[in-house]
Amino acid sequence: MSRYWRRNNSQVNTEVRTWKLIWKVKIPLKVACFDWLVVRQARLTHEVLQGRGFLDLLKVYSCNREAEVDNHLFLHCKAATNLWNMFLYILGVSWVMPKSTKELLNCWKGIGSRGASEDWWRSIPACVWWTLWKERNSRFFEGKGIKSQKIRIQCVSLLYFWCKQDMVGDTVHKVDFIGNL
């Protein structure tokens, strides 16, 4: 009986933690809603649309190697890996990418307790996922895409904008912001 209770209780705690890691972060509401769908794997990716009979299964826009599923698109695809590695390098963190977006979110806070910059740290997954989704939609619907370096610049700029908008930290310039991460 106690093993059953511990297993179910740990699942409930994970759900509560995931909820807090999305809805308590200082990001725009539409991005928080988007993140909730990403973690629930409910985004309208090609995999979901194909399952509903709307289109044939297509490859991810940036790597053309894998079918477009949430975990690959947001964690393991070449564009996603570049963004994650950039932030992990800036922050001096070395780790192995989790299997799912939910696992990433649950372990992200544990490796990012960095005092004053904790609010910035907690916004990074949302920023990466939102940047990747916007780029994916731009390539898919408008036929436009940008290079990897520009995607990185957009992601850092977006994070900087969100932090400045919510008065997170006191840096004035992007260079100072990156240095304080």
Give the C-alpha separation, 129 to 35, whole Å: 7
- Model confidence band, residue 10 (pLDDT cutoffs 50, 70, 90): very low
> Which tens digits make up the pLDDT trace of 65-111?
666 677 888 999 899 999 999 988 887 888 889 999 999 988 887 76
Nearest to 45 by CA among 80, 16, 13, 70: 70
For the chain, what are the domain ranges?
Answer: 2-180
Per-residue pLDDT, 5: 41
Per-residue pLDDT, 12: 42
Q: Give me the helices (H) in the chain, please.
A: 2-23, 29-39, 46-51, 70-71, 78-91, 101-111, 118-142, 148-165, 174-180
Residue 21, class by beta-carbon neighbours within 10 Å (0-12 exposed, 13-18 middle, 19+ buried)? buried
Mean pLDDT, rounded, for 39-64: 63
The identity of residue 91, as a single letter, is L
> Which tens digits make up the pLDDT trace of 33-48?
889 988 887 766 655 5
pLDDT for 154 beyond 70: yes
Per-residue pLDDT, 100: 92
Give the C-alpha separation, 15 to 11, whole Å: 6
How big is the chain, counted in residues? Answer: 181
- Model confidence band, residue 126 (pLDDT cutoffs 50, 70, 90): very high
Nearest to 122 by CA among 111, 109, 131, 132: 109
Global confidence as pTM: 0.78
pLDDT for 59 beyond 80: no
pLDDT for 131 beyond 50: yes
User: Higher confidence at residue 117 or residue 120?
Assistant: 120
Per-residue pLDDT, 81: 94
Q: Which range among 47-61, 75-89, 145-159 shows the weakest confidence by mean pLDDT?
A: 47-61
